[in-house]
Structure 1
């Protein structure tokens, strides 16, 4: 146990240094997020999360599995997405736990939240086209790689605490303007949560994506789909999964809930809620149109040039599933035979992935 605590302590100290540097720069250099892909209010003056607690209480959070290199994937500690005692919601947006140590030990809670802030949410694009309620294509695209640069020094993510004067859940059953954050940062909010005598209480950290121009991307997608001759209904959405971490204090009678979703829905209306911290993952340093905008990985335009042919190929072949590098390869190897062809959309004919568009 002592060895695990030492490893965790080292990781938290490193993350604390990163968070504090990012947070100090956020107030002067980082604008409020242009596009928040989760329904969390932004503030024009984000406050730093504050230093890590110096309490000598041992952290009771599970020791993360050592990070392994996964070729072709962002360099992350993926074990943090499924910590012991936590359950992922059916829609894959929310991790929830009733681990008693996290609601009784402020140092353990802070350490856990800081570790969770080191991994991003999973932003996606979901595109669906249908004719007379008959789905013609249903596509998903993973954008998480656009938040994680190859060099750790280029990371722009940071912890953001609720600002004074910002309406938020600060320990009550409804949004309020008080109490203020004050000195102490994240450690102080964790202490308030642990010491709150409320029988039912939750502490929530939300992972958000900032400064991604979803409006421009949606316009490009709709124009591309129109170029295939498709005139049915098109839905373009930008869902974000793995975007919320909920620590719930164990309450008497909690066993009566049959499912995580039922428990969460029932408790939301009467639970004292602490929703004061965000893990912000910018796509770019500034909102679209601002001079000097810098990208964590690449611009929306560069991403579009790289993937538009694969997306068009997937639409034209009426794919249902994730668009991957394999679709890029198929578009390069087989796409020339589809140039100038326009499939006949509708119920009367449905392509299989093996059929050539040129047959129509």
Structure 2
């Protein structure tokens, strides 16, 4: 495995001379984004892309990165001043927010501690489509929190009595690395390739309904209505039996916001979903599996890519919507089994608008160049950057999220110092011996 040295890691962390395509979120796409054409229309994401000399996929040096890298914050202070997290980035973004949405953050009713799912309840968002649109555009500038997670477990069986045995699962290590910083070209200036859009008519989602459906002429009911009005032409006789959909435009963001505010349903919700695209999870999974198995680990290995802060939902302001998030109310319905009656009612009575998707690409495909363009670094560079820190965390049986302090320590780990040279030598030798024995004999097997 090719690993960057300490100077290259410092360069990745402090490089501020990157010049590349930049983007600013000003509007939503009216049509699906294509890398080879500029979006247009009233509901367009204005992505200003400057010329890029980025080489195609597969032509990147294994340890050379030409983008600013903002690593996850350290839980302990890092002595290097140039690696400190700079608070100006958030301040710059806050200065760009429209004044019309001041106070929206105070409407946050609940945030799930595990998934980061945010729920907003604000009467202004139910009645003012312009305010709702501005809030959606602001939420679209906030990225999802993408992680890659490496977890190892094994089972241990203990005999409790002559006839009974107890089996429990033991976690050997649970290591996470956040990928969110690599979704930006310039983390300080929030320069990215994020692509907000409204759903296309061929996507089956909830469009102010309780059940998923297609939009426009892709929906059977709409197609029948249009056929009765003579708006759909039949096949032209060249083997096409289906209808010609013709001009089947999807609603824009302002139109969806007006539809939501005009909806008279007693229970309704408007959702914004964030996605990470262009990340080759299979490649990273294979590389990480090889990395862990090379330590002769014999236990059960799980590698996945969880995501936090994926969804933002706006609920209309009413008593039922507030009660449905109160813990003691939910537990009362669970214990009394009333949820058997209330859950179907809430499911069918709540009209859901799941019509906004914000795509945060790790890479994207260019048809003209027939190559991938990466936002900051490739999957191989990501693995080479964090591989050594992950390797050490696995052998140390850590349960944590790695940060820049772990990255720096992995490149130049100082010796153990207790004040006694003899003890320091014995401790260091003991740790090295244990790690070497684990590599040779294997560790983490079921027992």
Take 1:51 and 1:291, find their aligned partners in 2: how far apart are those partners? 25
- On the 8 A contact 2:30/2:250 being kept in 1, the answer is no
**Is residue 175 from structure 1 mapped to residue 212 from structure 2 by the alignment?**
yes
| 2:130 equivalent in structure 1 | 107
Matches within 5 A, 1:199-278: 199-257=266-324, 258-259=326-327, 262=330, 266=343, 267-278=346-357
| 1:72 equivalent in structure 2 | 85
- On the 8 A contact 1:88/1:94 being kept in 2, the answer is yes
- On the 8 A contact 2:275/2:359 being kept in 1, the answer is yes
Helix, strand or coil: the match of 2:285? helix
Helix, strand or coil: the match of 1:28? coil
Residue 348 of structure 1 deviates from its aligned partner by 11
- On the 8 A contact 1:201/1:271 being kept in 2, the answer is yes
Take 1:93 and 1:323, find their aligned partners in 2: how far apart are those partners? 19
Residue 109 of structure 1 deviates from its aligned partner by 0.4
Return closer, same or farther for 1:209/1:48 CA change in 2, 3 Å cut-off.
farther
Q: Which runs of 5+ in 1 are unaligned?
A: 1-13, 32-45, 53-69, 350-360
| 2:34 equivalent in structure 1 | 28
Q: Which runs of 5+ in 2 are unaligned?
A: 1-22, 46-82, 98-103, 156-168, 218-247, 334-338, 416-428
| 2:145 equivalent in structure 1 | 122
Take 2:214 and 2:393, find their aligned partners in 1: how far apart are those partners? 48
Correspondent of 2:443 among 324, 332, 345:
345
**Is residue 144 from structure 1 mapped to residue 180 from structure 2 by the alignment?**
yes
Residue 214 of structure 1 deviates from its aligned partner by 0.8
Matches within 5 A, 1:273-288: 273-286=352-365
Helix, strand or coil: the match of 1:247? strand
| 1:11 equivalent in structure 2 | none
Residue 327 of structure 1 deviates from its aligned partner by 1.9
Take 1:30 and 1:123, find their aligned partners in 2: how far apart are those partners? 27
Taking only aligned residues, the RMSD between alpha carbons, in angstroms, comes to: 3.7
**Is residue 135 from structure 1 mapped to residue 171 from structure 2 by the alignment?**
yes
Return closer, same or farther for 1:100/1:273 CA change in 2, 3 Å cut-off.
same
Take 1:222 and 1:16, find their aligned partners in 2: how far apart are those partners? 37
Take 2:322 and 2:364, find their aligned partners in 1: how far apart are those partners? 45
Helix, strand or coil: the match of 1:192? helix
- On the 8 A contact 1:129/1:135 being kept in 2, the answer is yes
Q: Please tell me whether Structure 1 or Structure 2 has the larger radius of gyration of its CA atoms.
A: 2
Return closer, same or farther for 1:124/1:48 CA change in 2, 3 Å cut-off.
farther
Equivalent pairs counted in the alignment come to: 299
**Is residue 83 from structure 1 mapped to residue 125 from structure 2 by the alignment?**
no
Helix, strand or coil: the match of 2:142? coil
**Is residue 295 from structure 1 mapped to residue 301 from structure 2 by the alignment?**
no
- On the 8 A contact 2:364/2:374 being kept in 1, the answer is yes
Return closer, same or farther for 1:112/1:241 CA change in 2, 3 Å cut-off.
same
- On the 8 A contact 1:160/1:279 being kept in 2, the answer is yes
Helix, strand or coil: the match of 1:115? helix
Residue 271 of structure 1 deviates from its aligned partner by 1.0
Take 2:266 and 2:195, find their aligned partners in 1: how far apart are those partners? 32
- Name the TM-score, length of structure 1 as normaliser: 0.72
- On the 8 A contact 1:47/1:162 being kept in 2, the answer is no
Residue 148 of structure 1 deviates from its aligned partner by 1.1
Helix, strand or coil: the match of 2:382? helix
| 1:5 equivalent in structure 2 | none
| 2:162 equivalent in structure 1 | none
